[in-house]
């Protein structure tokens, strides 16, 4: 893998990016330093808020995203992973701006669902308001035979969105109960598995007891996709 350097476009948020690097290391089959994947992390928390840009006419994050992509390209990376789900709303524009392949987090999540034994059917999807409004998961997974359930507006306002904000504020343990409750409600409505479609959500869910149904951790999913790329897959 020495010739395949991974670029990580991060900072959205910083803790999720750092956790992606940790998971990438832990999931890589390795017996020594040299067996791990060469990687460059571009962690820029100054990227404007992605949900605000889509939902409330906030500042466009694309220039900052492209700045990071060009920096990773100049650093000699061979592919790019973006451990932020909502940023994938600008995926086409980012991919058009670079010859490097960008590993799509929703495709990685689909592969992870299959690995968990849920290759199709009704699933729950939790994420930021921007991710759900852009239908990033619904559009890409519907074609694979999934039926995506999402939290209600009330559940987003009272449970998911405040919990994501708590993780971003480094109050990770305090986010657990609200996120777990939102996931339990989706499972109660028939979801066979729940996709944690914001990279802050797995951090909050990991802070408490494991849930009694499959969850698709998109940090792990993207790390597995990056490992597959690095190994020539």
Question: Are 40 and 88 within one domain?
Answer: yes
The rounded distance, in Å, linking the Cα atoms of 176 and 139 is: 28
Question: Are 132 and 209 within one domain?
Answer: yes
The answer to whether the CB of 149 falls within 8 A of the CB of 190 is yes
Distance of CA 201 to the CA centre of its chain: 9
Question: Are 87 and 138 within one domain?
Answer: no
Question: Are 34 and 57 within one domain?
Answer: yes
Question: Are 28 and 62 within one domain?
Answer: yes
The first and second tokens of residue 53, run together, are 């840009």
The reply to whether 188 falls in a domain is: yes
Question: Are 119 and 87 within one domain?
Answer: no
99-120 pLDDT, tens digit per residue, is 999 999 999 999 999 999 999 9
What pLDDT is attached to residue 4?
87
The reply to whether 86 falls in a domain is: yes
The reply to whether 27 falls in a domain is: yes
Question: Are 128 and 193 within one domain?
Answer: yes
The reply to whether 79 falls in a domain is: yes
The first and second tokens of residue 69, run together, are 């992509």
Quote the number of domains for the chain: 2
The rounded distance, in Å, linking the Cα atoms of 172 and 175 is: 5
The reply to whether 1 falls in a domain is: no
**Confidence (pTM):** 0.97
The reply to whether 52 falls in a domain is: yes
Question: Are 155 and 225 within one domain?
Answer: no
**Phi/psi-derived region of residue 172, left when phi > 0, alpha when psi is between -120 and 50, beta in every other case:** alpha
Question: Which residue positions in the chain have pLDDT lower than 50?
Answer: 1-2
The answer to whether the CB of 208 falls within 8 A of the CB of 163 is no
The answer to whether the CB of 219 falls within 8 A of the CB of 206 is no
CATH number at residue 78: 3.40.50.1860
Question: Are 49 and 131 within one domain?
Answer: no
The answer to whether the CB of 62 falls within 8 A of the CB of 105 is no
The first and second tokens of residue 137, run together, are 């998961």
The answer to whether the CB of 93 falls within 8 A of the CB of 153 is no
At a CB cut-off of 8 Å and minimum separation 6, what does 153 contact? Answer: none
Question: Are 31 and 15 within one domain?
Answer: yes
Domain of residue 17 covers 6-104+220-230
Question: Are 152 and 70 within one domain?
Answer: no
The rounded distance, in Å, linking the Cα atoms of 17 and 118 is: 27
Question: Are 42 and 117 within one domain?
Answer: no
The rounded distance, in Å, linking the Cα atoms of 130 and 92 is: 16
At a CB cut-off of 8 Å and minimum separation 6, what does 219 contact? Answer: 16, 19, 20, 23, 83, 199, 202, 203
The rounded distance, in Å, linking the Cα atoms of 133 and 130 is: 5
Q: What does the H/E/C string look like for 117-143? A: CCCCEEEEEECCHHHHHCCHHHHHHHC
**CA angle, residues 94, 98, 100, in degrees to nearest 5:** 110
Question: Where are the strands (E) in the chain, listed by range?
Answer: 6-10, 39-43, 79-81, 102-103, 121-126, 146-149, 194-196, 215-217
């Amino acid at each position: 893998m020495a010739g395949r350097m991974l670029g990580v476009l991060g900072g959205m948020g910083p803790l999720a990016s750092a956790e992606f690097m940790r998971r990438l290391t832990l999931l890589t089959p390795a017996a020594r330093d040299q067996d791990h994947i060469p990687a460059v992390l571009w962690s820029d928390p100054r990227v404007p808020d992605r949900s605000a840009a889509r939902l409330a006419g906030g500042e466009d994050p694309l220039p900052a995203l492209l700045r990071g992509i060009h920096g990773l390209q100049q650093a000699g990376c061979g592919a790019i992973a973006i451990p932020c789900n909502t940023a994938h709303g600008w995926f086409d524009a980012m991919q058009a701006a670079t010859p490097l392949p960008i590993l799509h987090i929703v495709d990685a999540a689909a592969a992870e669902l299959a690995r968990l034994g849920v290759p199709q059917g009704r699933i729950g999807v939790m994420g930021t308001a921007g991710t759900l409004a852009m239908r990033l998961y619904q559009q890409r997974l519907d074609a694979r035979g999934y039926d995506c359930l999402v939290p209600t507006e009330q559940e987003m306002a009272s449970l998911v969105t405040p919990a994501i904000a708590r993780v971003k504020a480094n109050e990770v343990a305090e986010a657990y109960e609200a996120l777990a409750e939102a996931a339990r409600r989706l499972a109660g409505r028939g979801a066979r598995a729940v996709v944690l479609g914001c990279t802050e959500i797995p951090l909050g869910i990991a802070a408490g007891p494991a849930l009694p149904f499959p969850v698709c951790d998109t940090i792990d999913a993207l790390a597995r996709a990056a490992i597959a790329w690095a190994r020539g897959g």
